[in-house]
């Protein structure tokens, strides 16, 4: 047989007939085909350039906020603290109760709209620059490079047998990774338990079992995801990678290889004339593949694995500079701009299309609505519950009395007095104590007796309102309820 002829193989479908176990080909000429591809480790080469600088700027900014905020003080307390035990959520001057869940919903709506907007403008901008997976992978890669060297040194060392030097370097790297991971886990728990107390508990080895669990759980998630899983999280675990294509269109900015300019690709000397050699601008150095954190070749077109980090654009620009060619063989551009050869200003005019403007308008409206609502909200909350034990009764003096239980929640950090009045029926009066004191950040249940003169209303159920005024800070609330008049 001619050695260049393709070998014909018989493919046996892998369908177990009985139970489970190794599957064998039917006959000696059959070849079993497995759909499983073993994972190949990716060694991303370090890169510098415009997009890399932007990524490092977001790494610094996000981590400054994440690691720094729990240490900030606001008065006598931690500035940002989600105290699950007492169900109080402190965000600088704001004190939120679980009843303020609407603001969390608002925050989620803002996050979703921002994601839609950024994706419509520039694809996986979030993934490439601000996603925690990218940020921590970047930090871990930086540590790896400092301890083990850049790509080629790491590849060489991994291929070598174990030696003292290899054990020391790998040990140092894992020690630093674990230190960053555990500090990350500790900081995460510090958003839910006062971080200074947590630090003292840690030093005294007296952390509670939940604090220990979450510190280690979050820490090891960071260690595993940024140290080992890396691109596999983006490729196989992140749901965003799956539905992002639904949000892309031909005017979305994505990292693109200009194949018209780059092809035919080929190596050449710096002095050679590519036109004379009938070559495009791509020198086929494969640096764009080597720097890619997901290990793909952008020259094959847009792929779902691409997180839009721009590392290939940065490194290609350095290659173009060295060759004396124009930058931008790999760049952020749109499919329409490529096919219609638009200039930068034409491209941007199309990027700012109606869809983007609508997303922006809705996002601005939701943000403004949330800010206005937060500014105007009363600094206390009231829940009204009818006392089921006492529906309605006739009391001395011939009045009809209904009894309610009011939960008054003080959302300020000082003692407050609240005045309670009942309205909605002629002659309706609060007959119990109508001014209640509530300690700072506390809630208090009070029993309120409301009376109505006999014959002031027909038998049945009547809508009434409780009017509650804060006497020490501005704030007024109206809560609806019903008053029952017996037959
Ligand atoms: S870095 Fe640029 S020149 Fe080098 S292979 Fe990639 S596209 Fe071609
Ligand atoms: S192809 Fe380029 S932009 Fe996409 S993930 Fe790889 S390096 Fe980043």
Q: How far is the CA of 306 from the centre of ligand 2 (A)?
A: 5
Please report the atom of ligand 2 found closest to the CA of residue 298. 1
Mean pLDDT calculated for residue range 188-198: 96
CB 388 within 8 A of CB 405: no
Is the minimum distance from the CB of 440 to ligand 1 under 6 angstroms?
Answer: no
CB 342 within 8 A of CB 350: yes
Q: Please determine, for residue 447, whether its predicted confidence score (pLDDT) is greater than 90.
A: yes
- Please give the pLDDT value at position 220: 97
Instruction: State the sign of the Cα–Cα–Cα–Cα dihedral 138, 144, 146, 151.
Output: negative
> Cα–Cα distances in Å, from 197 out to 79, 135, 208, 217, 463?
14, 28, 12, 20, 49
Mean pLDDT calculated for residue range 180-184: 98
Kindly state the tokens that stand for 39.
């994972």
Q: Please determine, for residue 199, whether its predicted confidence score (pLDDT) is greater than 50.
A: yes
- Please give the pLDDT value at position 30: 62
Q: Which residue has the tokens 């009764």?
A: 393
Beta-bridge mates of residue 404: 386, 448
Kindly state the tokens that stand for 171.
């040990």
Q: How far is the CA of 361 from the centre of ligand 2 (A)?
A: 31
What angle do helix axes 151-159 and 132-148 make, rounded to 10 degrees? 70
Each residue of 342-385: pLDDT tens digit? 999 999 999 999 999 999 999 999 999 999 999 888 889 999 98
Mean pLDDT calculated for residue range 466-477: 91
Neighbouring CB atoms inside 10 A of 270's CB total 9
CB 218 within 8 A of CB 189: yes
Please report the atom of ligand 2 found closest to the CA of residue 305. 5
> Cα–Cα distances in Å, from 23 out to 27, 36, 376?
12, 14, 69
Q: Is 170 exposed, middle or buried (0-12, 13-18, 19+ CB in 10 A)?
A: middle
How large a percentage of the chain has pLDDT more than 90? Answer: 78
Q: Do the bridges between strand 10-12 and strand 30-32 make them parallel or antiparallel, or are there none, so unpaired?
A: parallel
Cα(78)–Cα(62) distance, rounded to whole angstroms? 19
Please tell me the pTM assigned to this model.
Answer: 0.84
DSSP 179: H
Each residue of 396-435: pLDDT tens digit? 888 999 999 999 999 999 999 999 999 999 999 999 989 9
Beta strands in 251-410 (DSSP E): 254-257, 330-333, 380-386, 393-394, 400-410
Q: How far is the CA of 351 from the centre of ligand 2 (A)?
A: 21
- Please give the pLDDT value at position 386: 82
Nearest CA to ligand 1 atom 3: 282
Given pLDDT bands bounded at 50, 70 and 90, which one contains residue 244?
confident
DSSP 75: T
Kindly state the tokens that stand for 298.
């952008």
Ligand 2 pocket test, candidate residues 296, 314, 330, most atoms within 8 A of CB:
296
- How many alpha carbons fall within 13 Å on the CB side of residue 117? 16
Question: Residue 243: phi, psi to the nearest 5?
Answer: -105, 5
Q: Is 135 exposed, middle or buried (0-12, 13-18, 19+ CB in 10 A)?
A: buried
Nearest 10 degrees: Cα torsion 336, 341, 346, 347:
40
């Amino acid at each position: 047989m001619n050695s260049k002829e393709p070998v014909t193989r018989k493919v046996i479908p892998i369908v177990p007939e009985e139970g489970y176990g190794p599957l064998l080909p039917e006959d000696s000429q059959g070849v079993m085909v497995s759909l499983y591809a073993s994972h190949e480790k990716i060694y991303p080469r370090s890169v510098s350039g415009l997009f890399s600088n932007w990524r490092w700027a977001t790494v610094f900014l996000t981590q400054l906020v994440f690691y720094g905020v729990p240490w900030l003080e606001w008065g006598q307390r931690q500035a940002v603290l989600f105290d699950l035990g007492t169900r109080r959520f402190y965000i600088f001057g704001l004190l939120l109760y679980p009843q303020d869940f609407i603001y969390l919903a608002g925050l989620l709506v803002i996050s979703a709209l921002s994601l839609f907007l950024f994706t419509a403008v520039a694809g996986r901008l979030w993934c490439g620059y601000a996603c925690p997976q990218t940020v921590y992978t970047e930090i871990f890669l930086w540590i790896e490079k400092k301890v083990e060297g850049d790509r080629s040194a790491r590849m060489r060392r991994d291929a070598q047998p174990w030696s003292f030097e290899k054990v020391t370097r790998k040990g140092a790297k894992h020690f630093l990774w674990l230190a960053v991971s555990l500090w990350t886990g500790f900081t995460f728990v510090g958003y839910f338990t006062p971080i200074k107390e947590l630090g003292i508990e840690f030093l005294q080895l007296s952390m509670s079992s939940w604090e220990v669990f979450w510190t280690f759980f979050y820490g090891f998630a960071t260690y595993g995801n940024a140290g080992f899983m890396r691109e596999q999280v983006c490729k196989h675990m992140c749901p965003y990678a799956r539905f992002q294509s639904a949000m892309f269109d031909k005017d979305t900015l994505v990292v693109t290889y200009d194949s018209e300019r780059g092809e035919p690709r080929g190596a050449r000397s710096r002095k050679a004339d590519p036109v004379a050699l009938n070559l495009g601008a791509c020198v086929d150095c494969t640096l764009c593949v080597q720097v890619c954190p997901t290990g793909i070749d952008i020259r094959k077109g847009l792929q779902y694995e691409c997180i839009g980090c721009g590392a290939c654009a940065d490194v290609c620009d350095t290659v173009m500079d060295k060759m004396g060619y124009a930058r931008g063989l790999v760049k952020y551009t749109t499919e329409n701009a490529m096919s219609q050869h638009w200039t930068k200003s034409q491209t941007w005019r199309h990027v700012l299309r109606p869809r983007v403007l609508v997303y922006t308008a809705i996002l601005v409206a939701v943000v403004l609505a949330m800010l206005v609502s937060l500014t105007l909200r009363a600094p206390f909350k009231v829940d009204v519950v009818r006392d089921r034990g006492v529906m309605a009764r006739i009391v001395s003096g011939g009045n009809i009395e209904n009894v309610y239980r009011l939960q008054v929640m003080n959302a300020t950090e000082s003692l407050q007095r609240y005045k309670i009045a009942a309205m909605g029926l002629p002659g309706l009066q609060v007959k119990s104590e109508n001014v209640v004191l509530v300690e700072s950040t506390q809630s208090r249940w009070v029993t309120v007796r409301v009376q109505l003169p006999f014959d002031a209303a027909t038998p049945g159920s009547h809508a009434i309102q409780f009017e509650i005024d804060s006497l020490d800070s501005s704030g007024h609330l109206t809560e609806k309820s019903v008053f029952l008049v017996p037959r």
